[in-house]
Structure 1
Amino acid sequence: MDNQPLKHHFFVIMGPSGSGKTKVTEAVFPSEYKVVSHTTRKIREGERDHVDYYFETPEEFEKLIQNDALVEYDFYHGNYYGVGKAAIFEKTNDHCAYDVLTFKGFQQIEQFFGSKVIPIYFDVSKDKVVSRLNIRESNPVTIEQRLKLYDEEILVKNQVSSYPNSFIINANDDFEQVVASLRQIVECIDSIHCRE
């Protein structure tokens, strides 16, 4: 499996919490295009195992690491998150695929698979994040925690833009416009006119 090129592009979606990246990607890509990540965090209400994540015990996750089954993994907010090598190969066999990941995750995947990995960053203002989090979150502690992360997550923008095949989307726009922006990138990525 190692050193084999991907047949189709793998889009890595990044951006601060509250940028809308998850809902936008779900509106653009068919559900079967998502590469499902592994995590040791607890399943949340409304989530489904093997659909939203592969929910693993810490021991199961450690076994994935030992077996070199993950192309990237990280420890984030007290839990492991990671993406399987085989899952990316499988999902990109017949069409493009995507996942919403951290910049560190993107770097590891890009180092392994190369230029077929396309980074897309959702750029959003702190004011917009505050208004969105106030709508969707009822716990003020959760809102505060996510806003603290914003300052770190927004710094990733310049790192992402240093990659020649990267895209920055203005996530301050309304939902339909952001969806249209992402859809345009995905549709044109194989075209030689994409960068013109």
Structure 2
Amino acid sequence: MISFSQPYWLLLLIPASYALWRIQQLTFAEGSNAQQRFWFAIRAILLLLIIGALAGFQFRTRIRQNQILFLLDTSDSISSEQRAKAIHFLNESMTRIHEPDHAGIIIFGRNAAVERFPGIPRPLQNLESQVDITATNFENVAHLSEALFASNYQKSVVVLSDGLDNDGSADDAFRGMRKSGISTQAFYLSS
């Protein structure tokens, strides 16, 4: 999509076009009609480029790639059954994500760790990263996930948790993510 950051400069096109036409009429340069038309076209293109630059010409495209981070709560308030349900849900979701979209996994408790950096989605067999499971801190995982996103993707976060936040400030962290344009979804892990 074409846009201009300062479109009022485009008003110069009217007097500039007239001036260009008058210069063409008053020129006494020798040459055939084809040569005169060629130089007129060159002047017109240069004038358009200069006015376009002054007007802040921009060509914008929509980002069509998604980057999804799954935030998996592994604190001690999550039972092994809940963890198995979460991994099953995560693997089902991975089968629905296709290239060029990327998916990553972060596990968290009191602290957070990257289980899988964003990349081509593939099923998760087991959890290899280790975190402190004595508490649930949504603030830490929110900050880590924000840092993990690439700039040229639409960003989404899927939280898999029982919702028992007992460390940090989850509201502020997720409010900041929404302000940054990161969409968030939460899935409650029931027992």
Q: Structure 2 length normalisation: TM-score?
A: 0.33
Which protein has the larger Cα radius of gyration, Structure 1 or Structure 2?
2
Higher normalized contact order (CA 8 Å, seq sep 6+, divided by chain length): 1
- What's the TM-score, normalizing by structure 1? 0.32
